[in-house]
Amino acid sequence: MTLAGSRDLRRYSRHLLIPEIGLAGQERLASSRALVIGAGGLGAPVLAYLAAAGVGRIGVLDDDSVDESNLQRQILFEHADIGRPKARVAAERLHALNPQITIDALQLRFDASNARELVRLYDVVIDCSDRFTTRYCASDACSLEKKIEIFAAIFRFDGQVTRFDPDGPCYRCLFPYAPEPGSVPTCAEGGVLGVLPGIVGAWQASEALKALLQIGEPLRGRLLLVDALAARTREVRFARDPDCIRCGDRATLFEPVDAPDDESTASIAGIAEVDPEELDAALRDALLLDVREPHEAVLGLIPGAVHIPASQLEARMHELDSAKRYVVACRVGVRSRWAIARLRDAGFQRVAHLQGGLLRYAALDAGFEFF
Amino acid sequence: MPVVRLVAFARLREVLGEHREIVLPDGANVGDLWEALVREEPRATALARGLRFARNDALCSAEMPLRDGDEISLLPPYGGG
């Protein structure tokens, strides 16, 4: 694709004025391909800026649909999009923003089965996902397919951004082990300042454009830490880990894996799962133990539930009776797994887990308000 | 005895507070610092897995010896996207 037409010159004139970009750089962008994994809080600004900048082909990968609770930060979506597939809606918006580029709407889950094949089709991969499993898999695939990856993750007011190059370091060098389930919440679980992914995603978009243009100093081997609450940034240097299972000196991983270096995120063996549809029946001879934090009560309380926040569980274990049956629940089913592990350690045998958390149970129209 | 300055991020900042100074016995390493913090604030235990440390803004292992005046960052992986 060339940018001979005056329409293109007008559209990209502010880029053409920058010596580091100019006509050659703009043409480079037009012939570039970027894959954005996750069209959520981070994905929205990344996608919008890459499309506006004239990146010739953009893959929008997301298997989810727009939820009303996304609209507080995922600025690519509108109220009328609720319930529609994110990849499809994002593709429409990006096409409207810049009809001259090609958008691939990829309505699927990025995992070990398709990772390499997908990554191969693009020049740069931007990880905007909200799952640790996806992050390991994306980093592995980029490392194996020799692609640059721009990574970010967020929590409430905090963001982490960096770039992984094919010769390392990779995500596994930085975080070889995933956190204990329940200890690190997603946005759905822990909340997030709406503008935070905007700030952090804009950093990612900037790094992606720099990578495609091959300009500037890459954010490589440097973890940028953004603290919006303090309005402060900080940088931590890191290098390729010689012991990394993917890019280390004695690498053992030659296919992408949707898991960290250990089994810490695997579900707890032998745990009884209660389907939300069966919760009412299960509660005939069991108590519902709600382990959400006190400030979450405003989002809905379940009548009759025992409420001990996960953060107080160890100190308040004595309030529970190990002879009784409990179905442990939290908002989306992550902290409840952690709570069950603690309860088991303390000798509670008759504990079951509410699959998908109270959010899924409430979606069955259980007769109470829950958000 | 080395005095180090602690910088915690995200969930760990909420649990431990943002900045503080800690005195440790001679010969202590970064792992010893973490052990001391967990003794003081047991809620931090759940955040141990996946956590990385940095000494003076460079990623380091738990075996890294502490020196007087070091600034130690506690870097948990973040979940959201």
- A263 token code pair: 């089994």
Answer yes or no: do A174 and B59 touch at CB < 8 A: yes
- Placement of tokens 């509660």 in the chain: A283
Residue A175 above 90 pLDDT? yes
Mean pLDDT of B61-70: 96
Amino acid B41 reads E
Question: What CA–CA distance (Å, rounded) separates B45 from B23?
Answer: 20
Which chain A positions have a beta carbon within 8 Å of B79's beta carbon?
Answer: 130, 132, 153, 155, 179, 184-187, 189-190
The reported pLDDT for the residue numbered B3 is 95
Quote the minimal CA–CA distance from A273 to chain B in Å: 23
pLDDT at A46 over 70: yes
Retrieve residue A256's tokens. 């992408």
Residues of B in contact with A172 (CB under 8 A): none
pLDDT beyond 60 at A334? yes
pLDDT(A164) > 60 = yes
Q: What percent of chain B has pLDDT over 90?
A: 78
Ordered by start, the domain boundaries in chain B are 3-75
Determine the residue of chain B that is closest to A180 in CA distance.
Answer: B49
Sign of the torsion formed by the C-alpha atoms of A220, A144, A215 and B77: negative
Tell me the C-alpha distance between A219 and A126, whole Å.
Answer: 13
- Residue A267 pLDDT > 50, yes or no? no
Contact indicator for A258, A111 with CB cutoff of 8 Å: yes
Q: Is the domain covering A32-237 a CATH 3.40.50.2300 domain?
A: no
A150: enclosing H helix or E strand? strand A148-155
How confident is the model over A206-265, as pLDDT tens digits? 999 999 999 999 999 999 999 999 999 999 999 999 999 999 998 889 999 888 865 433
Residue owning tokens 């640790």 = A132
pLDDT, tens digit, 9 for 90 and up, residues A2-45: 565 767 899 999 999 999 999 999 999 999 999 999 999 999 99
The pLDDT, as a whole number, for residue A4 is 58
Spans of all domains in chain A:
32-237, 272-362
How many CB atoms sit inside 10 A of residue A4's CB? 10
A132·B77 Cβ contact <8 A: yes
> Residue B81: which of A128, A156, A311 has the nearest Cβ?
A128
- Tell me phi and psi for residue A139, to 5 degrees: -65, -45
For chain A, give the number of residues. Answer: 371
Question: What is the β-pairing status of strands A33-37 and A124-127?
Answer: parallel
Q: Is A272-362 CATH 3.30.70.2190?
A: no
| Cβ within 8 Å, pair B79-A234 | no
- How many whole angstroms from its chain centre is CA A158? 14
Pick B81's closest partner by Cβ from A154, A175, A260.
A154
Q: Does residue A356 have a pLDDT over 90?
A: no
Tell me the pTM: 0.82
Helix A196-213 to helix A43-53 angle, to the nearest 10 degrees? 40
SS3 (DSSP) at A219: coil
- The per-type count for chain B, helices as H runs and strands as E runs, is 2, 5
Candidate CATH numbers 3.10.20.30, 3.40.50.2000, 3.40.220.10, 3.30.60.50; the one for domain B3-75: 3.10.20.30
